[in-house]
Structure formats: structure tokens, C-alpha cells
Amino acid sequence: MCGIVGLYLKNDKFENSLGELFEPMLISMTDRGPDSAGFAIYGDEVGEGWVKLTLRHPDEDYRWEELSDNLSASLGCEIKWMQNANVVVLKINTNESSARRALAELDSDVLILSAGSSIEILKEVGLPENIASKFNLSGMKGSHIIGHTRMATESAVTMEGSHPFSTGSDLCLVHNGSLSNHNRLRDTLKREGITFETENDSEVAAGYLTWRLNQGDSLKVALENALKDLDGFFTFTIGTKDGFAVMRDPIACKPAVLAETDDYVAMASEYQALVSLPGIENAKVWEPEPATFYVWERK
Amino acid sequence: MSNDTNNNPSLKESATFDRATMAEIRRAANTGIYDIRGFGAKRKVPHFDDLLFLGASMSRYPLEGYRETCNTSVVLGDRFAKKPIKLDIPVTIAGMSFGALSANAKEALGRGASMVGTSTTTGDGGMTPEERGQSSKLVYQYLPSRYGMNPDDLRKADAIEVVLGQGAKPGGGGMLLGQKITDRVAQMRNLPKGIDQRSACRHPDWTGPDDLAIKIQELREITDWEVPIYIKVGATRTYYDVKLAVKAGADVIVVDGMQGGTAATQDVFIEHVGIPTMAAIPQAVQALQEMGMHRKVQLIVSGGIRNGADVAKCMALGADAVAIGTAALVALGCNDPKWDDEFKKIGSAAGYYDDYQEGKDPAGISTQDPELMKRLDPVDAGRRLANYLRVLTLEAQTLARACGKNDLRNLEPEDLVALTVESAAMARVPLAGTSWIPGQKF
Amino acid sequence: MMTVDLAAQSVRDLNKALHECKENITEKEWVVTNPKGNHNIAVGLDAEISVDIHGHAGYFCAGMNKTANVTVHGNVGQGVAENMMSGVVRVKGDASQAAGATAQGGLLVIEGNAGARCGISMKGVDIVVKGSIGHMSCFMGQSGSLVVCGDAGEALGDSLYEVHIYVKGSVKSLGADCIEKDMRSEHIAELKGLLEKAGVDENPLDFKRYGSARQLYTFKVDNASAY
């Protein structure tokens, strides 16, 4: 039970102020989700042959430089890294699976929040305004961003249980609602080799999409299958490398509103999250239909 | 059994397919519809009878009965409301609708509750002037169907109870069959007379705790933040539901266990959904404690409360008050043996009658028939209810004093032990004579 | 005319001031600026006043309205005019889901589109939508009228009681127990009156009428699959 916000820029006009435009959107959803918050931002893309990981470690004083050096030595490749609060973004001149394997060997306690060429996922327990400030959201640049504020229903309030959930390379998912068949589905997905960190229903939705995409589904087909296999109530927003997608369940009780101008597409659980956007007065504003998905991607 | 026609000891009845089970299969085969009835769960579930108090003796000192005071009053809803409710006794009357009950029965509930300084509650179908007039403290239920929902009545209420579910049917809607939709009931509910009324299971304009938070704000705005807002849930995933009710902004949370009654719902719902009241309380209290909200957001529990011992046990487990429904109806005269001949005429018997949905209650309580209704004198019945409420309170005080408490709310789980492993695990108190609480370290 | 700027004052202040008009109308015309999608604006009114909201409103705008005339010059969130008793609520833009839910009287006009569940469980209100309405609209509608000048989404009028539904455009699908019915002269007259009252210029003869088949009013075993 939560608030969802997303902002996707159709051109580069607002790229330098993406975080600044997005911060009030996230904070306005505090009442819907006071327990934890997070966002996935896309930008600062790495080149061909590189992979970008967002990592954190349970130890707040973890020695990232040492890890980076060891990783570089073990992979025999160049690594760039930057730290943002207790999260680190590594850019590694190798492919994702090699990087994951090497990391697991060096320190299995390191948590990979996201992987891809553009995505960074930052999330934390606490009020949205504190999380935005902790990660300096307002100073961030990029092409698109989706965020989430969480009111925990059944699973614990932890960083791991916060959204967005990574669902694959440059993919993530945020969810508002409550799934009703996630426990059996989680068991099935575990047998298929998908791993889960929490008892969270939304993580199962994320794991489901990961599994479908691994099976070779396109995002569109994966979402069509999700409509058949997920029971309960949901509004999903899915971040992709080039844009985002929005989908509601067939009953469509959980709110969603979309706004589009020449410069951006914005999504939110409530209209009030959109009021601070430039030109919102003249934007096309509408609600997504049930069991229908909407995709925006940069060509 | 009274209907046992078998005197041959060599015939053995199946425990799985006993006569009641077979009768139900035949009934279903004949009619093609599930069994609908009133009353709460009839199956045996772990209950407060399986708990005992540890009275004081040497290590603790008891209070003198009738001389040394033992407070019974409780304030409900002081988290946000300007006008919280003060109850003289911690036993309130649960929501029961006009429609399910006769106007006389509703009036009697109001009279009885007011005499002893406690509150009564409307139900699915709106507020009647008789009820408002006779109730000094009236809680207005806000239900999915919104039958009879009126902002004028909302502003007349002393508290508002947002109903998400009830113990008899968590997750289900209500129903009122055609026989009870008289002109007055139909008019109050904007329905054609005589049809089967179906009530929704979800509220029409919000779903989930995030949207409920906004709905609660609306109710507060409309009533200028004066009266407390309760949230009522049927006991199922109580730990989570209570946490979410607090997050959504409730002043008071009402948890109704599976023994809680109903006017009419599917038998399969009554008997197979929800958890016993005793198991729900520790979950609710744990949730409140973890949020630092125990005693700040008050907890009312209901479902199968019958005597002062039940009241005291609920309080010891951490409730701030209890609510009674079925027991209150019995106090008014529901299932009274003096109507036994009449119960038999409609295929039931005094003590067994649960076809509230048919509207033929010989005791004149769960009916809209004007002739039957006359059998219940609201003044006399109200007095009986007041007497009964006084007994509940005196009994609870007796037990609390014996445990050395000058306030009912000072009873603690540590004053209790359990007779069975099941009740020890559910109530989270030790098995009598041991320090063993199943499922916990010791 | 009294202007309340929600950038400077709270919704609580606004509602309090509007509620005070019940006892003593100090000002008949109210203007609300900077609503910015805030929830519960102008709820629980009970006075012969008019309130003009300039901008978009959030959930439950004009909820439980009595007597008052509320106009939103923008869009509204969920449950606009929910449980309205009387008066007029007019939305110049679009309405989110559950517009006019359980409303018992008065007139709700939505000049744009309405989302899902428009008129859910309505109990006597008249709703006129110039645009289209979403799925499950008029679910369990009990009484009153719903007029739709555009199209209706899936499962229109599911489990309907006695609401009169008039739709000019297409209906994606009808819900259980909802059927198309003849437009008799009294219905044309009723619709004409509703359109006039709402200030909508449409020809009543272009509409089709839908109502309850009344097959689910009392349980019949042969209908079990419809439950």
C-alpha cells in the first residue's frame, strides 16, 4: 500500500533538473507511504562492454575502495566507482554475469540493488524527505526516474523490502496494491532459480517479471503473462532502460494518474504529486485503463 | 440428542458423515443454495474458558471487594478527536442494524447501554431516531453499502466506526433477505421492497490503507475533527491489520473474533473464516506495542464475550474495552425458552434459533413483523440489558480486585495461565503450573 | 465574494469556514484557489452557498454535499461528491473513479470523462457525464439516473437495482442483470429534463436506455452462475 511516482523525459530539456523536478513528487506521497522510500534513476550510461552496479553492504563503514581494488584484480579490468551515502555505484569494464560472479566470490554479503548500463536504485527505511536528502536526489541528472513510498502491509519494514525492486538488467518495478497469490508463486519461482530477499509480495511480482524475461519474453509479453498469473490488486510502474511502463490489474482499484506534455510523461498515484511539474496546467491528464499497459520509450 | 431416533447400540454413526453433515448435504441438493443463517460460529474453538486468573494470596495482595475501588471507566479516542468518548464501563454494544433487528430491539439496546453509561452502535442500514434518542453515546457505523448513510446522522454521532469487516464474515459482504425488507427498511436503504438486499464487501470509493487514510481525513473534516474514528476489522491477519489501522489514522481499533455474530451470512463463512477472539488479542496488542500505541489507540475486542470473566480476560490480554452483540440480544430475550412452542412451530427450538434472516423471530428481536415486534417491550428489555451489563462489570471487578488491581486495565497477561496447550499458544500465557508459553523461549 | 487560497490556508481552515455557513451565511460566494490536488476540499457542506474551485482537486471533493453548489474548474480525484444528498456539483474537467458513489440526491455533472465505477451504489442522485465513463460504472446502482453522452466501459450496471441509465455512445459490455430497455415517452421526457438541468445540449432521441432485468432481485438457483 503505497505511493508511486514516475517521470520520463521525452527530450533533453529537463535532464539536468530531473532530480529537482522529481523530489517534490516523491515527498508529496509521504502520507501514502511513510515507512520507506526509494527510486530508480536512469542516466550516466556506461559504454559498450561495461556494466554498472548499485551496491550496498550491511556494514555502514564498509571499505568499498578495497573491494573495488580486489574486484579489479580478480576480473583483470578497469573499475570506476563513486559513493553516495551508504551506497556505491561501480562501473566495471566487463559483463554483468562475470561481475556478479566475482563479487559473490569476494564478499557474499554485498547486496546488488541494481545492474545494467544506466539504472541506479537507491532506497532506504524512513520518510521520503529524509531519503531524498540522504542521496541528494535534487542534484541528480538523468533521462527518467521512478520512485515509491511504502506503507508496509504484511512484510517487514526493511531496506530490502523497499521499492523499487530490480527485475533484470536496467529493469525495475514499483507496486501499489496487495497481491493474493504471491506465496505459492514465490515457491514456484524459487524452483526456477529466482532468489528472494524478503517475504514481500511486490518482490514476487518483480521476480516473476525477471523470470519471464529470462525465459525470453519481451516486456510486453511478460506483462501480458503477469496479468494472467498474478492475483490481487496492483498498479505497477516498470522502469526500462529507455523509458517506463504502467499497468493496472483488471479490477483497477488502486489509483494511477498519467500526465503528458511535449517534454515529459509523468505518472503518480495521486494528482497532487504532479502539481509542481512545469506546464502541468496544460498537460493531458488521464487515468490508465484496467488490464491495459502503457509504455513510453525513447526511440 | 433430542432428535436421536436410533436406539440400537450396534449402529455406529460416522464421525465424518454425521447426521448433521448428511442433513446439510441433502439440504444443499434440494435447494441449490448455500445455507444462510444468523448467530456466530457454533463449532467449538479455543476460548476464554481455557484461561484462569492467578488470584492474589501471599506474593500479591488482593483489594477488598465493594470497599476499595476498582476503576472501570475508559476514555476512547483521544488520539485526534476533540471529543473522545468516556465510558463508565468497558463493555459496549456492538453494531447491529435496524433492519436486522426490530426498532424495539434497537431502542432497548440504547436504553440499556445508556443506563450504565456505555455506548451502543448503529449497523448496516442507518440511524433511527428511536436509537439516537435512547442512546446517550452512539457510534455510527460507516459501511461498504452505505445504506442509510446520511451526513446529518454522521454529525449527530458520538463516534464513527469505519467497518472493514466483522468476525462472522471477514472478507464478505452482508445480506438481508426479502422477508425483512419492509417499507421502512426499504425506504431507509433506497431499495425496492421485498427484494434480497446484497451488501458489498469492499467500500465503493476507497481500497486499501493508503486510500483509507484519505477517507478518514474526509470523515474528520466533515465532523470538524470532533468525534473519534474507529476502524473495525474481522480477526484474521490481525497483527498487520492493526498496524495499518494505526497508520491510516484510527483513534480506536475494533477487532471482532470469529465467534462474533451476524444477522445473516453463509454458514460456511461463519464457521470457517477468521481466528478466535482469544488468538486475535495478543496479535493486536503486539502490533500496538511495537508502534508505541498501546493505550494511545484504544483496542476494543468482541466475539463470544459472555460473562465478567471473559471481560476481565480480554482486558488482561490488553484490550481497553469489549463489545457484546449476541450476549446483549440474549439479555433482551433472544432465544428465550418462554417462546419454545413458537420456536418449534418454525422448525427450531429455544436456544437453537439462528434463522435471523427469515424475520420470524418469536422473541420479536430479529424481525420486522409488527406483531412479533410487539412482544419485546423496549423499556423492560432495556432494563434487563442494563442489569446484565452491571453483572459483567461487577464480575470483572471481582476478578481484578482478587488480582490486586485498582483498575480493570491494570490486569496483565501475567495474571493469567492457560488450561490447554492451544490456549497457551494463542493467548501467549503459560500453561498452568509451568512457565511454558508454546512458541516462545523461556 | 470570499477567496480562500489553499497555498496560504489549510483545507481544514477552508472546511471549517464553509461549515460555519450552516448556521450563518456570511458569504454566499466562495472561491478556492491553489487546490493542487489536495484531498477533501469542500466536504460536508450544508448551506446555500456556491464554491468555485480553480484548479484540480484530490479525493472526495464535495463529499456528502448538501444544498451547496460546488464547481471544480479542473479535474477531481476519487469519489467526487460521494454520498451527496442535494445541491449541485459540477466538474469542468475529468473525474477519477467512484464519482458520485452512493450519492442520494442532487445533481453531479462531469463535463469531461469519468473513470471507473462512476455512480457505484448510487442511491438517488442524478449524474450527467458529457464524456465517457469507465468500467463497472453504476455497479449495484439503487436509484437515480446516470446519463452518459460518450461511451461506457465494461460491465455497465452490474447487479443493478433501479437506476435509469442513458448512454448515447457505445457500451463496451453490460454487467450481470443489466439490459437495454425501450425508450418510452416518459424516459425521453426524463432525459430531456436531466440534460436541461445539466446544461448539456444533446438530443434525447440519440440515447439508449439501460436498466435492471430484475432477475437477481431474489435468489433463484438457475441464476447461480451470475453471483
Domain residue ranges in chain A: 2-45+125-297, 46-117
Q: Please report the residues numbered 89 through 128 in chain C whose beta carbons come closer than 8 angstroms to any beta carbon of chain B.
A: 97-98, 101-102, 104, 117, 120-121, 123-124
**pLDDT at residue C224, as a whole number:** 65
Please, how many CA atoms are within 13 Å of residue A86, restricted to the half-sphere of its CB? Answer: 14
ipTM surpasses cut 0.85: yes
Which residues on B lie below 8 Å from C85 (Cβ)?
Answer: 150-151
Q: Where in the sequence is the domain holding B189, given as residue range(s)?
A: 37-427
Q: What does the buried/exposed string (b/e) look like for B130-161 if buried means 16 or more CB atoms within 10 Å of the residue's CB?
A: bbbebbebbbbbbbbbbbbbbbebbbebbbbb
**Cα B252 from Cα C157, distance rounded (Å):** 36
Nearest to C208 by CA among C172, C168, C171, C176: C168
Domain A2-45+125-297 class in CATH: alpha beta
What is the per-residue pLDDT across B290-343, written as a single tens digit (0 to 9) for each? 999 999 999 999 999 999 999 999 999 999 999 999 999 999 999 999 999 999
A34-56: average pLDDT: 95
Contacts of C135 in chain A (CB under 8 A): 252, 289-290
C39 vs B contacts (CB less than 8 Å): 214, 217-218
What length does chain A have?
A: 299
Regions of chain B with pLDDT less than 70? 1-5, 174-176, 441-442
Mean pLDDT to the nearest integer, A162-174: 92
Q: What is the per-residue pLDDT across A220-266, written as a single tens digit (0 to 9) for each?
A: 899 999 999 999 999 999 999 998 999 999 999 999 999 999 999 99
Q: Is residue B341 part of a domain?
A: yes
Give kind and range of the element (H or E) at residue A184. helix A182-191
Q: Which of B178, B211, B225 sits opposite C218 (nearest CB)?
A: B178
For residues B257 and A18, what is the distance between their CA atoms, to the nearest angstrom?
A: 50
Angle at Cα B335 formed by Cα B330 and Cα B337, nearest 5°?
115
**Best residue of A254, A272, A277, A284 to probe chain C, by most C CBs closer than 10 Å:** A272
- Tens digit of pLDDT for each residue in A197-233? 888 999 999 999 999 999 999 888 999 999 999 999 9
Please answer whether residues A175 and A2 qualify as being in contact, where contact means their C-beta atoms are separated by less than 8 angstroms.
yes
Task: State pLDDT tens for residues C51-62.
Answer: 999 999 999 999
CATH number at residue B285: 3.20.20.70
CB contacts, 8 Å: A255 with chain B: 211
pTM summary value: 0.93
Residue type, A125: V
Closest partner residue to C218 (CB to CB) among B196, B218, B223 is: B196
Asked whether the beta carbons of C76 and C56 are under 8 A apart, the reply is yes
- Residues of A marked active site are found at 2
The answer to whether the beta carbons of residues A121 and A172 sit under 8 Å apart is: yes
For A153, which of B207, B213, B240 is closest by C-beta distance?
B240
DSSP 8-state class, residue B430? P
Does B414 lie at the interface with A, CB-CB under 8 angstroms? no
Give the best residue of A271, A275, A281, A282 to mutate against chain C (max C CB count within 10 A): A271
At B174, which helix (H) or strand (E)? none
A-chain CB neighbours of B211 within 8 Å are 255
CATH fold of the domain at C54-226: Pectate Lyase C-like (2.160.20)
Q: Which of C11, C97, C219 sits opposite B196 (nearest CB)?
A: C219
How far is the C-alpha of B111 from the C-alpha of B436, rounded, in Å?
45
Three cell numbers at B112? 440499556
Minimal CA separation from B160 to chain A, in Å: 22
Contact A290 C135 (CB under 8 A): yes
Query: Is C38 at the interface with chain A, CB within 8 A?
Result: yes
> B289: part of which helix (H) or strand (E)?
helix B277-290
Between β-strands C88-91 and C69-73, what pairing exists: parallel, antiparallel or unpaired?
A: parallel
SS (H, E, C) C170-192: CECCECCCEEEECCCHHHHHHHH
Burial of A77 (0-12, 13-18, 19+ CB in 10 A): middle
pLDDT at C221: 67
Q: Which CATH architecture fits A46-117?
A: 2-Layer Sandwich (3.30)
Question: Phi then psi for A272, rounded to 5 degrees?
Answer: -60, -20
Contact A1 B240 (CB under 8 A): no
| Cell numbers found for residue C17 | 469556514
The alpha carbon of residue A30 and the mean position of all alpha carbons in its chain are separated, in whole angstroms, by: 18
Q: Which residues of A touch C (CB under 8 A)?
A: 252-253, 255, 257, 270-275, 285-287, 289-290
Beta carbons of A294 and A265 less than 8 angstroms apart: no
Burial classification of residue B345, based on how many CB atoms lie within 10 Å of its CB (0-12 exposed, 13-18 middle, 19 or more buried): exposed
- Residue C115 contacts A, CB cutoff 8 Å: yes
pLDDT at res. B2: 45
Residue contact C64–B205, C-beta within 8 A = no
The Cα C130–Cα A16 span in angstroms is 41
Question: CA nearest B398: which of B388, B385, B409, B408?
Answer: B408
Phi-psi region of C120 (alpha: psi -120 to 50; beta: other; left: phi over 0): beta
- What subunits make at least 3 CB pairs under 8 angstroms with A? B, C
A155 touches chain B (CB under 8 A): no
Using a CB–CB cutoff of 8 Å, tell me whether B211 touches chain A. Answer: yes
The owner of cell 444468523 is B38
Chain A residues within an 8 Å CB radius of B208: 1, 177-178, 233, 253-254
CA distance B39 to A284: 53
Exposure string for A140-172, b = 16+ CB within 10 A, e = fewer: bebbbbbbbbbbbbbbeeebbbbbbbbbbbbbb
Q: For chain C, 227 residues long, give each residue's pLDDT as a single digit of tens.
A: 999 999 999 999 999 999 999 999 989 999 999 999 999 999 999 999 999 999 999 999 999 999 999 999 999 999 999 999 999 999 999 999 999 999 999 999 999 999 999 999 999 999 999 999 999 999 999 999 999 999 999 999 999 999 999 999 999 999 999 999 999 999 999 999 999 999 999 999 999 999 999 988 877 766 666 66
The whole-angstrom distance between C104's CA and the closest CA on chain A is 23
Contact criterion met (CB < 8 Å) for B210 and A269:
yes
* Residue A88 C-alpha, separation from nearest chain C C-alpha, in angstroms: 36
Tell whether C79 is within 8 A of chain A (Cβ): no
Q: What is the pLDDT of residues A77-128, one digit of tens each?
A: 999 999 999 999 999 999 999 999 999 999 999 999 999 999 999 999 999 9
Residue B234: per-residue pLDDT: 97
Phi, psi of A206, rounded to the nearest 5 degrees:
-65, -45
Owner of C-alpha cell 477468521: B274
Segments making up each domain of chain C, as ranges:
54-226
